[in-house]
């Protein structure tokens, strides 16, 4: 070995080989269980977190599961507006589940599909129990008017891809597909029309039917047109979209009453289809009865942890 190193190699090779050996020695030295290690596990040592399986009490699975809200500005504003539906949802699940709003203003199903694997991998994938997916408003903008347009066929394709990604990456998350909502005017911002929005609603419902054949009860749909308009009234050619003004601030984005109906719509699907995800059915994370907790002055960390996390 030494011979090899000191052979007819350039100075540079010699130098780097020696450097490598030195690093290897230092590394080996640091890895060997020395007296420092033994000292740190001594009872009187300065508070080190318990790491061995003997000192950590067995704990129940106390972690927070997640509800992920995927969409466009209707989701983004849902977490920004003071009365936003996403904000209200995270209030409802306080200390029970994490509600993460991932809404991207202006996005269509094409861009959202590309982002979905990364968004799903942001969090331990088996922690995501429900994905609420509301996308399609921007897909419907008139062709040629904006890079946001996605044809109906491709829109359905991307809904299918997004649900496939959710199934493959999370394995057990439920999916609540939400149709793009109506707008409260025949035309909004020059390039959203009530009639084309209606077609994207139908496209979303059809995509849901096909996804349902594969996923079964792991997927459900919330029809925003029924929620806002009701009883298929919006199918009547004389229907006046202005009657929906009470739900929208600018014809397209929810205001208080729209947020509230959306919030209630999501909850009612959860409660009827997936009662195990009903917040009323969950206990709060970490013990809440602090009046029964071991006091600090007792110095019994293990008892305090047992009280907090459960376990033996
Ligand atoms: C769609 O994109 C426009 C920008 O062109 C944006 O103003 C609007 O908020 C977006 N709508 C949704 C529902 O994301
Ligand atoms: C989630 O996955 C991790 C590994 O990725 C595993 O250790 C853990 O037990 C899983 N939890 C549940 C609740 O399936
Ligand atoms: C739909 O029709 C039923 C029965 O006529 C009525 O009770 C209900 O209020 C209607 N829903 C809406 C949203 O108009
Ligand atoms: C927020 O949630 C509360 C409690 O569920 C509900 O009473 C209220 O109507 C909700 N507000 C909105 C704007 O959704
Ligand atoms: C709680 O969940 C169980 C099963 O997951 C279900 O049978 C029960 O109806 C739920 N309770 C409520 C209040 O939703």
With respect to residue 16, please indicate whether it lies within any of the assigned structural domains. Answer: no
Report CA(238)–ligand 3 centroid distance (Å).
18
Q: Which of 38-47, 77-86, 172-181, 217-226 has the lowest mean pLDDT?
A: 38-47
Beta carbon of 172 within 6 Å of any ligand 2 atom = no
Q: For residue 57, which of 295, 308, 302 has the smallest C-alpha distance?
A: 302
Is 4 inside any structural domain? no
Judged against a pLDDT cut of 80, whether residue 255 lies above it is answered with yes
CA 10 – CA 15 distance, rounded (Å): 9
C-alpha 230 to ligand 3 mean position (Å)? 6
Total structural domains within the chain: 1
Q: Which protein residue's CA is at the shortest distance from atom 14 of ligand 3?
A: 230
Is 210 a member of any domain?
yes
Instruction: Please state at what angle helix 152-170 crosses helix 194-215, rounded to 10 degrees.
Output: 40
Cα separation, 123 vs 121, in Å, equals 5
- Does 43 map to a domain? no
Asked if the structure places residue 309 within a domain, the reply is no
Are 243 and 259 in contact by the 8 Å Cβ rule? The answer is no
218, part of any domain: yes
CA 253 to ligand 1: nearest atom: 13
Q: Which two tokens stand for residue 116?
A: 């979905």
- Reported residue count of the chain is 312
Using 50, 70 and 90 to split pLDDT, how confident is the model at 251?
very high
Question: For residue 20, what are its two tokens?
Answer: 């490598």
Please give the structure tokens belonging to residue 143: 């062709």
Render 263-305 in DSSP notation, one character per residue: HHHHHHHHHHH-GGG-GGGSPPSS---GGGSPPGGG--HHHHH
Reported as a single tens digit per residue, the pLDDT across 110-153 is 999 999 999 999 999 999 999 999 999 999 998 998 999 999 99
> Which of 80, 252, 255, 259 most suits a substitution to test ligand 1, by most atoms within 8 Å of the C-beta?
252
Domain of residue 164, residue span: 65-275
Tell me the average pLDDT across 182-186: 95
Domain membership of residue 241 (yes or no) is yes
Distance, in Å, from the CA atom of 162 to the CA atom of 116, rounded to the nearest integer, reads 7
Is pLDDT of 22 > 70? no
Could you say which ligand is closest to the alpha carbon of residue 106?
A: 1
Average pLDDT of the chain? 86
Could you give the CA distance from residue 91 to residue 63 in angstroms, rounded to a whole number?
17
CATH number at residue 180: 3.40.50.1110
């Amino acid at each position: 070995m030494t011979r090899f190193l000191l052979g007819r190699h350039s100075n540079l090779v010699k130098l780097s080989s020696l450097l490598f050996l030195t690093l290897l020695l230092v590394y080996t030295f640091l890895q060997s269980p020395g007296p420092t290690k033994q000292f740190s596990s001594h009872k009187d040592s300065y508070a080190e977190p318990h790491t061995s399986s003997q000192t950590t009490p067995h704990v129940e699975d106390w972690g927070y599961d997640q509800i992920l809200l995927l969409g466009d500005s209707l989701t983004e504003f849902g977490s920004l507006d003071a009365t936003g539906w996403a904000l209200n949802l995270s209030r409802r699940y306080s200390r029970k589940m994490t509600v993460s709003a991932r809404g991207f203003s202006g996005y269509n199903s094409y861009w959202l599909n590309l982002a979905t694997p990364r968004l799903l991998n942001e969090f331990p994938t088996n922690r995501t129990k429900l994905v609420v997916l509301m996308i399609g408003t921007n897909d419907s903008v008139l062709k040629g008017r904006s890079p946001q347009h996605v044809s109906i066929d491709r829109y359905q394709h991307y809904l299918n891809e997004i649900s496939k990604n959710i199934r493959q990456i999370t394995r057990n998350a439920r999916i609540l597909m939400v149709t793009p909502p109506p707008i409260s005017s025949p035309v909004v911002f020059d390039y959203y029309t009530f009639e084309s929005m209606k077609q994207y609603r139908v496209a979303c419902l059809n995509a849901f039917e096909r996804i349902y054949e594969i996923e079964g009860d792991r997927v459900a749909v919330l029809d925003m047109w029924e929620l806002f308009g009701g009883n298929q009234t919006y199918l009547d050619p004389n229907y006046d979209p202005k009657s929906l003004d009470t739900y929208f601030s600018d014809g397209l984005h929810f205001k208080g009453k729209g947020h509230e109906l959306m919030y209630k719509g999501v909850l009612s699907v959860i409660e009827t289809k997936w009662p195990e995800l009903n917040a009323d059915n969950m206990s709060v994370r970490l013990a809440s009865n602090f009046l029964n907790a071991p006091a600090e002055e007792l110095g019994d960390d293990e008892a305090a942890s047992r009280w907090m996390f459960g376990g033996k």
